[in-house]
Chain A
Amino acid sequence: MTVPSNGGSRFVSRARRLALPGAAIAALTFLSSCAKDAPQDTFQPKGDNARNIDKLQRTPFYIAGAVFVVVFAVVMFCVFKFRDRGQKIPKQTHGKPALEIALTIVPALILVGIGIPTVKTLFMLAKTSDTQCVINVTGQQWWWEYDYPVQEGCGGITEPIVTSGEIVFPAKMNVLLKITSRDVIHSFWIPALNGKRDAVPGRVQTLRMEADHPGIYAGQCTEFCGLSHAYMRMDAVALDAAGFETWKTNQLAAYESPADGTAAKTGESTFLTQCSRCHQVNGLVNANGDPVISRPDQYVYSGAAPNLTNLMTRYDFAGASFDLITDDCRDKLWSAQPADFSALYLQGVTPECFDPVNLREWLRNAPGKKPMYADPAKLGPTDGKTRGMPNLNLTEDQIDQIISYLTERK
């Protein structure tokens, strides 16, 4: 037999009638019940750009699900209906061009239906003319630096701000990221706010970002960038307008040297000898009263190290890989309601929340905690410069002093 018998086609159309809603329900359950707490879920947009993507991506997912159910049903139908039960060898037919052409035109029309909104969304996401705030984002092995150039945008920035780990910006504002890299290709990705954009050395690429509400949104470098790729994360922090003003003021506050006689004061001099070669603390002066300018380009291959002026306004370090706060405090911060979030975030790392374990392990042996290229014997190809932070062989006393010093960097 060649033509599908009536019984066959009835079966199929019945299967199809059941399959389509079945698939839709299955897909809906699948998509809507995605874990509520996965911070990098790609189906839970928290801003305009990600929402535009989300609106676009759902239809193809549903269609794909439905097509699969149909194909699966038809193949299974054939498997059960046409198995060899001793029937005679079927007529040697070679196909039906009309059917083939029909089954090419239908998907072609579906694809046109998907293609038009795709192109529309694409250009929408590429728009840069309506953005109100520019933040420069620079990737390097294996952390992100954010700097806020002087501008009228972002509510006005009078002095450049440099930070890392957490990119802070005002909620409900169209932010334009200008992304580049100092070494290899990285990719900037905050799933709740927008898709990825690669950070390519020698190029500056743009990415829009907007968050509906104050909150903290997780991200991860998504272009393989060498040894410690897994430890290159980032968080995006949206604050309400007033909160963002406070944050800017905090970042630009004058340097306060620790009180004389405290462990932190000893820590300042330890920091000067051990850390300030690479890590900038704005306002720090040496014994002669001269400003201390770090020169990471002489020690680190990518030429930069995180600015630690306001370390304790952030909640993690080393490529947002390790927390500075206890798990409880972190959970509180991440689950804070939008209305409360800005105030909570601006408290910074409080003494109650501070958990020095990660920081201590890091100072004891950084490459032991996060894989990095710091073995002096292997630095020939980089002219003796490290990629990442080396083990400084600090004593336990020095580590305590530095931690005391750093806890005051708010």
Chain B
Amino acid sequence: MAIAERPSPVLARSGGTVLVTPSSSLGVFRRPVSSTGWRSWVFTVDHKKLGIMYGVAAFTFFIIGGCEALLIRLQLAAGSNKVLSAEAYNQMFTMHATTMVFLFVMPMAAAFANYLLPLQIGARDVAFPRINAFGFWCFLAGGVFLNTSWFLGGGPDTGWFAYAPNTSVAFSPTHGVDFWALGLQITGIASLTGAINLIVTVLNMRAPGMSLMKMPVFSWMILVVQFLLLFAIPVITVALFLLTFQRDFGAAFFSVDKGADPLLWQHLFWIFGHPEVYILILPSFGIVSEVLPVFSRKPLFGYKFVVFSGAAIGFLGWGVWAHHMFASGLGPVSVAVFSVATMAIALPTGVKIVNWTMTLWGGKLRFTTAMMFAIGLIIEFTIGGLSGVTHSVSPSDTQQTDTYYVVAHFHYVLFGGAVFGLFAGFYYWWPKVFGKMLSERIGKWNFWLMVIGMNLTFGPMHILGLQGQPRRMQIWTEFRAGDGFFNGAFWNLVSSIGAFILALGIFAFIVNVFLTYKKGEVTPGDPWDARSLEWMTDSPPKEHNFDSIPTVHALDEFFHRKYVEDEETGDLTLVTTYAEIMAEMEAKGDKNIHLPSPSYWPIVLALGLPIIAYGIIFNRLLSVFGAAVVLFAIFGWSLEPSVADASDYDPPVDGDNGESTKELATLG
């Protein structure tokens, strides 16, 4: 862990902007120290900057994946449209799913986790800051690498589930699947290193007094997700390696004529793939579990039940993977077991719905945009959860699987659940992260357009699926669409129109961000009368997060510092304000604060990986070069001292009496 000792920025702050100008140059081998300009972002190891970069990159992929979805809906608006060829359509739905799952929801959850988790637990950074930076660059490198397939012979065309043997070279002769396997391998490194990093952070770096059962639910859910990642990513890693060797090195893991069983891939993929679903949804469960109490002005109903049901989902999530394979021919005994296990997982999920609803009950509700998205999640996710229960009835699932009914189900879960949760998070934490309030007026437009859009898009898919329209078909026929109110032609059109309303809702968000950036209202100290530690600091927080690390006495520590509850009546009295708490923390500010120093090596190491991957596809010599870059970076990284050299900071402050030789910067 790179830790450089610096003079307390409490003192530095009084001088204004921190500027760093290197006095001597040792070429690229000189350690980066910029705290402004593009270098301060590219070489940063600050969890907050990395969180923002995760968010920006993930949102960009969200737009790309959204455009892919719009093309799909344009093609399906009428039965035999010619917007996309069969080839392009297959690539489009493969990349839409891959992008949304691996390049949007997962990294967006990582953005929230990176930025907020250390703040919520009262830490100054994550446990391994350079590895944190490495994870971000791996994600970005993998995502960009994967998308370059569009320009290098075509994207992957086998669906995001990539069932063998359809992924073999004979059946998918372009390089798309190679890009897919290698790209996800690289983003997988991001998830795996991130998981270890955040687990260590939560277990070791919580503020004094914060026992696990006093930890905010968001942090809890992120912890559960990291454990899921820690065990799920290795499985997909193995599967992707098998696939890469199958395609590029002549292996026969999935060659039926050589005795392979193609169901091997399905088991590996879904042993990863089902926990993955909870990896996508639990962060959003955490977010609404923060938002609902704040805007209901009540603690989360049944905190312990929410935490344990989250952990229970984390365990049960491992025992249900074969419910994706009810039609694969596993035999009735296996199917029965997985059927029952799938029903069981509905229970902890139901517990959450009950607890959120009961949090609203008897509260004092303020309908901010964040709150509306959170309530929207309760409703929309309930629909998705209930259609999920109908799937657990395995004989009936053999009718519904691979139809649009399933598409409806998981979009209610992932859009109505995961994405609504993320948007609740955007509105709730935007003032914290960027110091400006998103417009509530545009926010309402954003919310209602998204709600109407998503229900128009995905609602009709229930009908389409029950009417027997299968998924992943570039065309559908009028003849099989039926007549009357429930005919497929009408509902396909409605769904396509809905998709564009949904897109309009997302556009409203982008407009909101732009206008807020231009002339948004500056965040007042404590805009939401919030409850947890991340609000007990500046907005945006200083580089070192807290002037002094708070000691935690209760769940919802910040709230309980502000308010004192009358034992008998339950009446609350405001005893301290945000400003007073902040002043007190600043007065007690730590003299010397350990903060990690920036580093070149994470980005260099991460950029070596796609070079290896391009080499595997196009020219093995390139792989050798990529491997050399990786080795060079690992070497440089391991030799990099844990503290930056004194000469890296400029100029040393006179009269520093040797206390802090690693001077951060001159003042303004």
Contacts and interface: CB of A to CB of B under 8 A. Distances in A.
Are both chains from one complex?
yes
A126 to B, nearest CB: 4
A104 B351 contact: yes
B395 A118 contact: yes
Interface string B95-117: 00000000000000000000000
Given A205-B329, A226-B171, A38 B480 contact: yes
A92 B556 CA distance: 10
Given A56-B395, A104-B347, A224 B472 contact: yes
Given A34-B467, A119-B336, A226-B172, A42 B403 contact: yes
Contact of B379 (A61, A71, A381): A71
Q: Which 7 A-B pairs have the closest CB atoms?
A: A40-B468, A195-B398, A38-B482, A91-B570, A35-B482, A57-B396, A95-B302
A254 interface: no
A14 interface: no
A193 B259 CA distance: 33
A230 B399 contact: no
Contact of A88 (B87, B365, B571): B571
B440 interface: no
B481 interface: yes
B132 interface: no
A1 interface: yes
Contacts of A39: 468, 479-480, 482
A107 B347 contact: yes
Given A41-B468, A78-B365, A380-B173, 8 more contacts: A35-B485, A38-B486, A53-B398, A53-B399, A61-B390, A78-B357, A90-B298, A202-B259
A72 interface: yes
A227 B361 contact: no
B570 A92 contact: yes
Interface in B376-431: 378-379, 382-383, 386-387, 389-390, 392-403
A187 B402 contact: yes
Given A88-B571, A196-B401, A191 B468 contact: yes
B16 interface: no
A376 interface: no
Contacts of B353: 71
B26 interface: no
Contact of B329 (A34, A87, A200): A200
A60 interface: yes
**Interface range for A:** 35 or more
B296 to A, nearest CB: 8
Interface stretch (B60-68, B119-127, B260-268, B619-627): B260-268
A301 B170 contact: yes
B541 interface: no
A218 interface: yes
Given A68-B382, A90-B297, A228-B86, A60 B389 contact: yes
A104 B349 CA distance: 10
Contacts of A107: 346-347, 350
Contacts of A52: 395
Nearest to B367: A83
Contacts of A164: none
A75 B288 CA distance: 14
B159 interface: yes
A70 to B, nearest CB: 10
A68 B343 CA distance: 17
A198 interface: yes
A125 interface: yes
A126 B613 CA distance: 45
A4 B343 contact: no
Interface in A1-41: 1-4, 33-41
B260 A202 contact: yes
Given A202-B260, A230-B474, A378-B173, A64 B332 contact: no
A155 to B, nearest CB: 28
B379 A72 contact: yes
A89 B563 contact: yes
Given A53-B395, A223-B163, A114 B343 contact: yes
Contacts of A95: 301-305, 355, 358
Contacts of A373: 173
Contacts of A121: 395
B256 interface: yes
B149 interface: no
Nearest to A195: B398
B572 interface: yes
Contacts of B298: 90, 92-93
Given A201-B165, A202-B260, A119 B483 contact: no
A114 B392 CA distance: 10
Given A38-B467, A38-B482, A371-B86, A195 B395 contact: yes
Contact of A230 (B302, B339, B362, B476): B476
Given A71-B382, A114-B393, A196-B399, A185 B486 contact: no
A229 B390 CA distance: 26
Interface string A188-227: 0101001111101111010000000000001011111111
B396 A53 contact: yes
Contacts of B480: 38-40, 218, 220
A305 B465 CA distance: 31
Interface string A43-76: 1000000101100110011001101100110110
A379 to B, nearest CB: 9
Given A35-B484, A100-B351, A57 B393 contact: yes
B169 interface: yes
A41 B344 contact: no
B87 A226 contact: no
Looking at B166, B395, B463, B466, the one whose CB has the most chain A CB atoms below 10 A away is B395
B211 interface: no
Contact of A111 (B90, B346, B467, B471): B346
A43 B466 CA distance: 7
B87 A229 contact: no
B386 A68 contact: yes
9 contacts: A33-B486, A90-B363, A90-B364, A96-B301, A111-B343, A200-B262, A218-B480, A230-B472, A230-B474
B575 interface: no
A329 to B, nearest CB: 13
A108 interface: yes
Interface string B478-506: 01111111111000000000000000000
B303 A94 contact: yes
Contacts of A103: 350-351, 354
Nearest to B93: A224
A40 B481 CA distance: 8
A104 B350 CA distance: 8
A60 B165 contact: no
Contact of B327 (A37, A89, A114, A198): A198
A189 B469 CA distance: 11
A92 B567 CA distance: 11
Contacts of B169: 381
B299 A92 contact: yes
B158 interface: yes
A43 to B, nearest CB: 6
A56 B393 contact: yes
A122 interface: yes
B13 interface: no
B328 interface: yes
A183 B257 CA distance: 10
A378 B302 CA distance: 61
Interface string A113-143: 0110011011101100000000000000100
B550 interface: no
Contacts of A104: 347, 350-351
A369 B514 CA distance: 47
Nearest to B258: A202
B302 A82 contact: no
A195 to B, nearest CB: 3
B375 interface: yes
Interface in B167-184: 169-173
B366 interface: yes
